[in-house]
Amino acid sequence: MTNELVLITGISGFIGYATLVHALESGYQVRGIVRKASQIDKIKVVLPTHFHALVEFAVIDDLSAKGAFEKQMRGVIYALHIASPMPGPFEDLERDFFRPAVDSTISLLSAAKASPTVKRIIITSSNAPFVPVTEFVQGKLTKEVLRSDDEICHYDMKIRFDNPQAAPILAYAASKSMALDAAEKFMETQRPVFDLVVLMPAYVFGPNRLSRTPEDFAYGSNSFLLDHLLGRPGAPLMTSSVHIDDVAKTHVLSLKSFIPAGRYLLASGETAGTDWSEAFQVIKKHFPEAVGATFVKDPEVRTIRVISDTLKAEQAFGIKFKSFKEQVKDAVGYYLSL
C-alpha cells in the first residue's frame, strides 16, 4: 500500500471518477481537480464516505490557463490528466475544443516540470488520433489495425468539418491528436525528469457511477452503445471497445515504475475486436423484459472495422481486457437500474 499523492483531473467525469475510486482503493491519496465547486458535492454524494478524508478537492475553473496547475502540483508524485473537452454543441472549434485540449495539457506538464517531486505523468488520450477524419466520414478506414506506436494523424488548428452530425465527435478526435502531439513535443524539447505514459482507450462502456438519471448515463461514450440499443443509429460504430473497469485499472497501474513509459492502446476482443451483434444477444439473455420495451428488437448497426492491437498493453499491465459482452451487461444493467 502507498500514501503517495496523486493529482487527477476530470474526476467529475466517467473515466475520471472511476479512476479516482480505483486510486483510493489502491491506497493513494488524491488531489482531485474539478472546474466548478458544485461538482464536489456531486462527487461526495456518490463517493463512499470512508474515502472522503483521502481526497483533497481543488477547483481550477480554467485548466488551460498559464500557471493553472502551479499551486496544485506541490507535493504531487504522479499526475493523471484525464480532463478533456467532450463532444457537444460548439461555436468555435479552436476555442471550444482544440485550444483547451492542448493548452491544459501543456499547463499541466509545465507545472510538473517546475515541481521537484513529480515522477510520472499519465495522459488519457484515445484511439481516435489514429483514425483519419476524412476516411471516418466516408465510412471506411484504409488502416484496419491500430498499433500504439504508429504515426498518429496530425491536424491544423484551423481545420473545419462540413458534416454537422459528425462534427462534435470528429472535433474530439482532432483535439486528442493535437494534445498528444503537444505532449510528445514537450517531452522531446523540454526533457523533464519525469516520464510520460499515454493511455489510448477505444469506446469506453460500463457503469457510470456518477449518473443519477438515465439521461446522465446516456452522455459520453456510453451514448454510442445506448443509441445502438435504443434504435437511434448515428455515425458508423468502430469495432473496438473497452470496459470502464479496465480503463480505471490501467490508469492506476500506470503509476507503477515497472510499467514502461510510452503509449498503450486499451481495447478488448484481441484480433477479433468488438462484434456489435453480441450486444442484442446480451440483452435477450440477461434483460429479456427490456426487449421491445426499453430496447428495440433488431437494432440497426453500421460499423467501420478497426482493431486495436493491445498486445503491448496486455503484456505490460498483465491484463486480459473484459469482453464486449461484459461491457454490455454491466452498462445496460446499471442503465436499467436508473
* CATH number where 132 lies: 3.40.50.720
Q: What is the mean pLDDT of residues 305-313?
A: 94
Domain count, the chain: 1
21 touches 248 (CB < 8 A)? yes
Q: What is the mean pLDDT of residues 214-236?
A: 89
Residue 28 belongs to what domain range? 5-207+241-268+308-321
In a domain, 220, yes or no: no
At 40-66, the pLDDT tens digits run 999 999 999 999 999 999 999 999 999
0.85 exceeded by the pTM? yes
In a domain, 229, yes or no: no
In a domain, 228, yes or no: no
Q: Is the predicted pLDDT of residue 1 greater than 60, yes or no?
A: no
* Residue 85: predicted pLDDT: 79
In a domain, 338, yes or no: no
In a domain, 179, yes or no: yes
In a domain, 314, yes or no: yes
Q: What are the angstrom distances between the C-alpha of 126 and each of 117, 178, 287, 316?
A: 28, 12, 31, 18
Mean predicted lDDT score pLDDT of the chain? 93
Q: Residue 331 burial (CB < 10 Å; 0-12/13-18/19+)? A: buried
User: H-type helices in 231-310, by residue range?
Assistant: 244-253, 277-286
Of 115-119, 172-176, 266-270, the range with the lowest mean pLDDT is: 172-176
In 89-233, at which residue ranges do the beta strands (DSSP E only) sit? 120-124, 145-147, 195-201, 203-205
Q: Report which listed range, 185-189, 224-228, 229-233, is most confident.
A: 185-189
CA angle at residue 112 from 111 to 117, to 5 degrees?
A: 125
In a domain, 140, yes or no: yes
- Percent with pLDDT over 70 in the chain: 97
Of 26-40, 104-118, 186-200, 221-235, the range with the lowest mean pLDDT is: 221-235
The pLDDT-based confidence of 89 (bands split at 50, 70, 90) is low
In a domain, 166, yes or no: yes
Of 50-59, 132-141, 261-270, 279-288, the range with the lowest mean pLDDT is: 132-141
